[in-house]
Structure formats: C-alpha cells, structure tokens
A = this chain, B = another copy of it.
Amino acid sequence: MKFGGTSVADIERIRNVGRHVKREVDAGHDVAVVVSAMAGKTNELVAWCREASPLHDAREYDAVVASGEQVTAGLLAVVLQNMGLNARSWLGWQLPILTSHAHGAARILDINGEEIVKRFGERKEVAVIAGFQGIHKETGRITTLGRGGSDTSAVAVAATIRADRCDIYTDVDGVYTTDPRVVPKARRLDKVAFEEMLELASLGAKVLQVRSVELGMVHKVKIFVRSSFEKPEDIDPHGTPPGTLICDEEDIVEQQVVTGIAFSKDEAQISIRRVQDKPGVAAAIFGPLAEANINVDMIVQNVSADGKTTDLTFTVPAGDYQRSMDVIGKAKETIGFERLDGAADVAKVSVIGIGMRSHAGVAAQAFKALADRNINIRAITTSEIKFSVLIDAAYTELAVRTLHGLYGLDKA
C-alpha cells in the first residue's frame, strides 16, 4: 500500500491511512506500506536548501529532504501500534534500499526485504517504509529518487517481497479513458496494460510516476490505482474495490482496440522548410535547443522528395516558442534551410491501445473522423500502440470527444 503526501498531511489523515491498513491486515493480508512526506513538507525542505545555497550539494540536499518521509513513517507506525497492530518503520538505510549514486534522482538497485518478510511470518508485523529514499552502498549516504519517487519505492518493495498487488492510493480513483473534464462520458478503466499506462502517463494522465510503471512492467507487479478518499469502513476487503489495475497485457482478457485518448495543449509547432538532407543536420538543430534547455517533444521528418532537402517539424512547450524560434534562427547558417514556419498554439492528441498491434486501419478511422469535423491535421506520428496528431489548439476538446466516441469509449 502506498499513500502520498495529501493522505498523510496531518495526524487525523495518518489515522485514516491506519484504518485502511488495519482493514487489510484484518482481512488476513501481510502488509508493507510506503509513505510520502506530509503535503508541503518536502517543498519546505527544498526551499531551505535553496535558501542555504542556490548550488547546494546533492548529497546534503538528499539528507535534508529525506527527513520528511522519516517523520511520516514513524508516525504511521505509532498510529498502527495504537490500533493494536504490530508495526515498525523502516528508513531507506535500514532495510536497506540500495540505489545508484545519482543523488536527487537515484535509481533503486536492490532492496533487502528478508527482515520484513520474516516479521510478517513471525508476528504479522506491518512494515512502514519511508518512500522516496535509499542509500548508496559505497558512500553510506542517503539518496533520494526524485519527485514522485515514493511510487517507485512502493513498486520496488512490492517486487522484492513478491506482493500479490501494489495498491497506490491517490486523489483520483483510477485511470480514465480521457480527462473527464473534457469528456463527461469518460469512463474509469478496470485494467490497463503497462505499455498503455506508460504512453498515457507520459502524455499527461498524471496518476503515477513513469518509472514506477516501468518497474512494474519489468517485475510484473500488479499496480492498483485507487482512491484515498474512500472511507476505510465502507470498503469490503473481500470485494472488488473501484480503481484501475495496471497489469501485464496477458492479464487483460477482453482487450479493447483503443484504451484511451490523451492530449496536451500548450504546445508550439516549429517547421523548418527545405533543410539540407545530410548527416549531422539533426544535431545542428537539436543541439542548440538542448543547450538552451528547451524540451523537444514530437519530431516529424518526411522522406526527402528531391534527395537534397526536406521539411522537419517538431514541437516545444508553448512558453518556449519564441526562444526556440530565436535559437533556430541564429543557427540558420550552420543548419542550412530556406524558411522557418511556426505556430504557437497547437495541441497534441494521442490515441493509445495495445489492440492497435493487431488491428489495421485504426488511425485511418481517426483521420477521416477528424476531417469530417473540419479539423486540420498538421502532423502525424505513430508507434506500435499509439498514434498522435498535431492540430490547432482551439479544436482540442472537439477532437478528443470525437475520437472518444469513435472508438466506443463512451459506452458503459
């Protein structure tokens, strides 16, 4: 079970978390809980580090910010004990959770779960584990996994102890076919394959940290996204609670062709016309953008028609549009192109579904449906389980609703 910062923001909420845990223990389960810091605490600690020095040492930063999870782990253990359960808190260095040396963005290398499994057996002891943190083996220094790292801690612990399931309690009750604020008919998905979730997550369905999904996919950990707002006493521990199970493709019996529609507004499109079609030209374009710290998303390059020049289109965050145009403009000599076009106000709409692998013509249906609505497609990219179209931002909602209906996602 994993609970985020909002769920442990004060003692009353930690007590509520305790009741969720007790319900599972009472139902006969062995439970490991991973907790984040109280909402706001990590920000406070980060702000202090910044105030202490803009260029703070990542090792000391990690020692400071990891203290937030230490507090909630200890407090939840106290709360559980007060409810009559055996419970013990575990910090990253205590299990230990060994990580890489990349302070502030460390990767989990190995977790020793023997002691907590032993205690499951000996005395049904709940393990309360501080999320987001680990220890570097050689230096003995505290490391942190980066923002949202507690999701990753939870899935990694679940993999180590061979948990039946990793329940992530969040402020949403699952993963939806699309944003319900745009399409009121959006439905919660009962099951999503890891690969689909990766595409949905990175496209803006901000439910889970991407790395935690990757980890789940590699170790085949069933991740269950569910609401932390449900009252613990209303939940039947033997029933099927509402939520979305993120699991292996093979565990999804009734596979739909399309699982969800993701979208991101606030994109800007830049098209470089008649670029020299020669080796090194991509580096000449994207090198200066990377140096300027501009994040390039979609890249489309057509096969050259004349064998000499081609058109190249890419997207950047809308806020970086003017700066990107300037960077490319300045590098015109080095790159060698004829004209620079752009649009500051475009959106990317993506259709995701593992079923696309075996179904032909899925994208073609979309192109026709959008054309019927007079929505102009500026660019298209496709992958095995996803395709994305770039359109004028004004048509975003219409396009999402159109595609949501087209692939039968409106149906209950």
Contact = CB atoms under 8 A, between A and B. Distances in A.
Nearest to A51: B11
B57 A81 contact: yes
Contacts of A60: 74-75, 77-78, 81, 88-89
B75 A52 contact: yes
B48 A61 contact: no
A78 B57 contact: yes
B91 A78 contact: no
B53 A82 contact: yes
Nearest to A77: B60
What is the oligomeric copy number? 2
Contacts of A64: 70-71, 74-75, 78
A102 B220 CA distance: 43
A346 interface: no
A140 interface: yes
Interface in A57-90: 57, 59-61, 63-64, 66-68, 70-71, 73-75, 77-79, 81-82, 88-89
A45 interface: yes
The prevalent SS among residues of A at the interface is helix
Interface residues of A, number: 36
Nearest to A38: B48
A59 B70 CA distance: 13
Contacts of A14: 52
Given A63-B73, A70-B67, A52 B89 contact: no
B94 A11 contact: no
Interface string A97-136: 0000000000000000000000000000000000000000
Contacts of A82: 52-53, 55-56
B73 A11 contact: no
Nearest to A18: B52
Interface string A9-28: 00100110000000000000
Contact of A79 (B53, B78, B81): B53
A367 interface: no
A78 B15 CA distance: 35
Given A53-B82, A82-B55, A94-B140, A70 B77 contact: no
Interface of A: 11, 14-15, 45, 48-49, 51-53, 55-57, 59-61, 63-64, 66-68, 70-71, 73-75, 77-79, 81-82, 88-89, 91, 93-94, 140
7 contacts: A11-B48, A14-B52, A15-B52, A53-B78, A59-B88, A60-B77, A61-B78
